[in-house]
């Protein structure tokens, strides 16, 4: 018995193809940040760490806090240089994030994937994410690794320079 080509049950290929294309076009897009979970090692009493995590979440990252009591051990384990050490250390993908690094810099890092250990913001600059202030400061985000350190991006508060 031969089926009629107009019979949709006998020839579903075109319909399936059209529905597949439509589903692809209408599906929500996931950006690089939304695919990444940032694990944040922090002191449970530190408020600026929690505010920094909110900054990341507002910019599409998912965060997972891990309360710790020995921050130095985590920093040493992840290879954070003492000059960059601050109140919290995070891990995203294969990278370490030290301090109040803006989400913009982390997104760039995840796209470019340079050979490095991670990013750090030395100190706790006023106006950096988690350290909001009506008097923001200029500061640098440092790309670091075992053999090099260089300025990766510069900011004034949360504004990239």
pLDDT attached to residue 8: 46
pLDDT tens sequence across 112-131: 999 999 999 999 999 999 99
At 36, is the pLDDT very low, low, confident or very high (cuts 50, 70, 90)?
A: confident
Residue 97 CA: distances (Å) to CA of 33, 103, 155? 14, 10, 16
For 137, other C-beta atoms within 10 Å of its C-beta total: 15
Report how far residue 13's alpha carbon sits from residue 9's, in angstroms, rounded to the nearest whole number.
Answer: 10
> 37-160 — its CATH code?
3.40.30.10
Write out the two tokens for 120.
Answer: 């750090």
Mean pLDDT of 62-72: 93
* Half-sphere CA count of 19, side-chain side, radius 13 A: 5
* Buried residues in 52-90 as b, exposed as e (16+ CB within 10 A): bbebbeebebebebeebeebeebbeebebbeebbbbbbb
pLDDT tens sequence across 6-26: 554 545 676 655 555 555 555
- Give pTM, 2 decimals: 0.77
Report how far residue 38's alpha carbon sits from residue 116's, in angstroms, rounded to the nearest whole number.
Answer: 17
Report how far residue 136's alpha carbon sits from residue 143's, in angstroms, rounded to the nearest whole number.
Answer: 22
Report how far residue 46's alpha carbon sits from residue 154's, in angstroms, rounded to the nearest whole number.
Answer: 25
């Amino acid at each position: 018995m031969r089926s009629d080509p107009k019979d949709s049950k006998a020839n579903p290929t075109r319909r399936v193809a059209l529905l597949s294309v439509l589903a692809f076009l209408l599906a929500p897009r996931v950006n690089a940040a939304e695919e990444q979970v940032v694990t944040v090692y922090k002191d449970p009493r530190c408020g600026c760490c929690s505010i920094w995590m909110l900054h990341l979440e507002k910019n599409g990252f998912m965060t997972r806090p891990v309360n710790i009591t020995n921050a130095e051990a985590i920093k040493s384990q992840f290879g954070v240089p003492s000059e960059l050490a601050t109140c919290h250390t995070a891990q995203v993908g294969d990278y370490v994030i030290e301090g109040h690094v803006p989400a913009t810099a982390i997104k760039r890092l995840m796209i470019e994937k340079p050979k490095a250990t991670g990013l750090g913001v030395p100190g706790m600059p006023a106006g950096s994410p988690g350290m909001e202030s009506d008097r923001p400061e200029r500061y640098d985000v440092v790309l670091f690794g075992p053999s090099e350190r260089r300025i990766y991006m510069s900011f004034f508060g949360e504004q990239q320079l």
